[in-house]
Amino acid sequence: MPLPIDTRKKPTGIKVHVSTGAGVDITWADGHSSHYDFVYLRDNCPCALCDDDRKKKAALAGSEGAGPATAVLPMFKPKAKAKSAAPIGNYAIQIDFTDGHSTGIYSYDYLRTICPCDSCKLEFRSTTQ
């Protein structure tokens, strides 16, 4: 049997709006289209460093209980934009951000699972999976 192709995670059209800063638009083989802001992508950067960072923040947020997390990181964080983006083979895109971070490689598989729309949230990020 050939490997089944998940059409939900196969892009048919990819547009990266680097110069306008509008983000990334992807159309998928199942007809769905996704839009990602660069800020959103930066926050969801899949590299080990950022993954670690998110886990630490989540742990911090969970440990203190009540109160807003403003005491933890009061410093100003400029909105991330993309300096450039390049395809990696036919499975991912790499984004070079204006804050100097460029180790994030976003596989299409990953991108579909972080699609910010409600139906993908239900489909890919519900607790039942």
Residues that bind Zn ion (CB under 5 A): 34, 45, 47, 50, 104, 115, 117, 120
Work out how close the CB of 121 gets to Zn ion at its nearest, in angstroms, rounded to a whole number.
Answer: 8
Q: Tell how far CA 110 is from the center of its chain.
A: 7
Work out how close the CB of 41 gets to Zn ion at its nearest, in angstroms, rounded to a whole number.
Answer: 10
In three-state secondary structure terms, 37 is: coil
Q: Which of these, 19, 13, 5, 10, lies nearest to 82 by C-alpha position?
A: 19
Question: Judged by CB, which is closer to Zn ion: 39, or 50?
Answer: 50
Please state the three-class secondary structure of 86-100 as a single string: EEECCCEEEEEECCC
Question: Judged by CB, which is closer to Zn ion: 2, or 100?
Answer: 100
Question: Judged by CB, which is closer to Zn ion: 63, or 126?
Answer: 126
| 82 φ/ψ angles, rounded to the nearest 5 degrees | -95, 135
Question: Judged by CB, which is closer to Zn ion: 18, or 47?
Answer: 47
Work out how close the CB of 51 gets to Zn ion at its nearest, in angstroms, rounded to a whole number.
Answer: 8
Work out how close the CB of 92 gets to Zn ion at its nearest, in angstroms, rounded to a whole number.
Answer: 14
Please give the C-alpha separations between residue 35 and each of 44, 52, 68, 116, in angstroms, as whole numbers: 14, 25, 29, 7
